[in-house]
Amino acid sequence: MKKYQMTLDDTLVLRGISILIIILHNYIHWFSNVVLENQHVYYPERNKELIDSFLEFDSGLFLDLISHYGHYGVPVFIFQSGYGLVMKYEKKEVSLKFREFMKRHADKLWLLLLPDHACSE
């Protein structure tokens, strides 16, 4: 059996698609006529609405699917990010210390938070 490993381009494409799905998922909720998701609380009527949308098979089906299932883009994005990091650091011949790894990535996150912190005070 042939072993398949995703390439960097594969992971970037999937991450990009995940980001687009997440953005669309949140944007589509502004529309009043789409089927909402069962993300935090389960509402059986939302599943019935989605089934009805399938049966009608109109132009709103794509929006209903993204609205109902778009939140699954988040775990796909996180998985692809983790997979990319594993592939990156498995190929390196020099082992990366945990402290170095955490410092490098924490610095990136703090840089993103600085504008927010500066504006909030």
Query: What is the pLDDT averaged over residues 77-84?
Result: 89
Token couple for 8? 């960097």
pLDDT at 94: 64
pLDDT, averaged across the chain = 83
Contact (CB, 8 A) for 18 and 77: yes
Tokens of 109: 């996150």
Tokens coding 94 = 């020099």
What's the whole-number mean pLDDT along residues 71-78?
Answer: 91
Per-residue model confidence as pLDDT tens digits over 18-71: 999 999 888 888 877 888 787 788 888 888 888 888 888 877 788 888 888 888
SS3 call for 31: coil
45: left (phi over 0), alpha (psi -120 to 50) or beta: alpha
Note the pLDDT of residue 18.
93
For residue 49, give both structure tokens.
Answer: 């609405």
- Long-range contacts, 52-58 (Cβ 8 Å, 24+): none
pLDDT for the residue 121: 66
Residue 102 is encoded by which pair of tokens? 């955490």
Where do the domains of the chain lie? Answer: 8-94
Mean pLDDT, rounded, for 89-105: 79
Higher pLDDT, 88 or 26: 26
